[in-house]
Amino acid sequence: MKKNNEFIPACPIPIQQYPQIMLSHGGGGKMMHQLIEKMFVETFKNPLLDQRHDAAVLSCSSEKIAFTTDSYVINPLFFPGGNIGQLAVCGTVNDLAMAGACPKYLSVGFVLEEGLPVETLWQIVRDMQATALECGVQIVTGDTKVVDRGKADKIFINTAGIGILEYTLEINPREVREGDAVIVSGDVGRHGMAVMAVREGLSFESDIESDVAPLSGLIHDILSEGIHVHCLRDLTRGGLASALNEISQACQCGIHIEEAAIPVEENVHGACEMLGFDPIYVACEGRFAAFVPSEEVQKTLDVMRGHPSGQGACVIGEVRKGSAGVVTMKSKIGVDRIVDMLSGEQLPRIC
């Protein structure tokens, strides 16, 4: 998500007077009221949020809705290609999209550490709203808590989201079946390595940018074309390998992929080698795997490649009968190996 040279509005609360978040910003009194009214309500502005009630009352035009939540604790807050605010909107929007839903409404829960620069919060809030506009979602309800210095890490954000199911298609790991093609929407591992590179203070010949992006537009294109997608899964924590393992267990089939077919950018490859990571376990924030019937592969690829978020779409493998819950990969030197789920922690706090 690249930024143009844009006009940056000034922080709407007086930062000369209170440059940092204080406990009183979460106390239910005047300070909190000002923060909520001037920064959050003004920036996220919409009639639903403006109800100023304990809960937002929403119209629901569909009999089926999707509901999801994620907390974001990424460190550092700002990384090449994005920040925690964009991530908090994209992540939840993408989870809704993976269920085949059209994202509509978000809630936001901020946990702020005393001492957080108000200017930092303002930058995050602004980018949340810009990303929400890009995704066509409204932030309709929220909550703010402030904890004492040393009891959180600057800012944690939770978003929950509601989406509308416009299609009757059942999109679910259990729908995956033998013969389905496994498609990835683009190169993998970029988000995790972008964050790690900043954290480790590494600089590569060409900087690695996170792939963080909303996927709802691309999913909408696929579904509106009438493609019979069986399952969609974004490649977040645990990366491609963990996503395939989870789906393989749920559908009780085997999944076989080819290492040579998995797109990984050269600088990501280099960073992975340097830090000892395998790119198929590294989180993306703007990539997904789609499981589609083999006869609809070409149509799916055409639709995906026609969208900016799916230009690098390609087939990386297929679903096979038997060996339920087992993911295998043909390596670049032609040897088959089992791709297991990680047992430990590879990359803490990358989302």
Residues 294 to 333 in contact with a copy of itself, rule: CB under 8 A = none
Strand 314-320 and strand 254-258: the pairing is: antiparallel
Query: Sign of torsion, CA 131 135 140 146?
Result: negative
Please state whether 322 falls in left (phi above 0), alpha (psi between -120 and 50) or beta.
left
Name which position in 6, 7, 55, 335 contacts a copy of itself (CB under 8 A). 55
Residues 261-280 that bind a copy of itself (CB under 8 A): none
79 binds a copy of itself (CB under 8 A): no
CA dihedral 284→69→251→259, nearest 10 degrees, is: 0
User: For tokens 């087939």, what's the residue?
Assistant: 315
> Binding residue for a copy of itself (CB under 8 A) from 2, 6, 54, 334?
54
Separation in Å, CA 308 to CA 75, 97, 213, 297: 27, 16, 10, 19
Contact call for residue 50 and a copy of itself (CB under 8 A)? no
Query: Which are the contacts of 50, defined by CB distance < 8 A and separation ≥ 6?
Result: 41
Q: Establish if 57 lies at the interface with a copy of itself (CB under 8 A).
A: yes
HSE at residue 335, side-chain half, CA atoms within 13 A, is 4
Minimum gap (Å) between residue 333 Cβ and a copy of itself? 26
Determine, following the binding rule CB under 8 A, whether residue 45 of this chain makes contact with a copy of itself. no
Site membership for a copy of itself, residue 2 (CB under 8 A): no
Of the CA atoms within 13 Å of residue 61, those in its CB half-sphere come to 10
Q: If binding is defined by CB under 8 A, does position 31 make contact with a copy of itself?
A: yes
CA-atom Rg of the chain in angstroms: 21
User: Binding of a copy of itself at residue 236 (CB under 8 A)?
Assistant: yes
| 238 contacts a copy of itself (rule: CB under 8 A) | yes
Q: Does 349 help bind a copy of itself (rule: CB under 8 A)?
A: yes
Rounded to a whole number of angstroms, the minimum distance from the CB of residue 213 to a copy of itself is 16
Closest CA to 221 of 119, 300, 278, 275: 300
Q: Which stretch binds a copy of itself (CB under 8 A): 12-20, 48-56, 124-132, 263-271?
A: 48-56
Which residues, at least 6 apart from 14, have a Cβ–Cβ distance to it below 8 Å?
none
Note whether 210 binds a copy of itself by CB under 8 A: no
Q: Select the residue interacting with a copy of itself from 41, 152, 169, 261 (CB under 8 A).
A: 152
Q: How far is the CB of 229 from a copy of itself (least distance, A)?
A: 13
237 is an interface residue for a copy of itself by CB under 8 A = yes
- Site membership for a copy of itself, residue 287 (CB under 8 A): no
The reply to whether 153 sits near a copy of itself by the rule CB under 8 A is: yes
Helix (H, G, I), strand (E, B) or coil at 239: helix
Nearer to a copy of itself, 3 or 174 (CB): 174
Considering only residues 167-196, where is the footprint of a copy of itself by CB under 8 A? 172-173
- Residue closer to a copy of itself (CB basis): 13 or 267: 13
Taking the complex as a whole, the smallest distance from the CB of residue 115 to a copy of itself amounts, in Å, to: 14
Contacts of residue 27, defined as CB under 8 A and 6 or more positions apart, other chains included, come to: 146
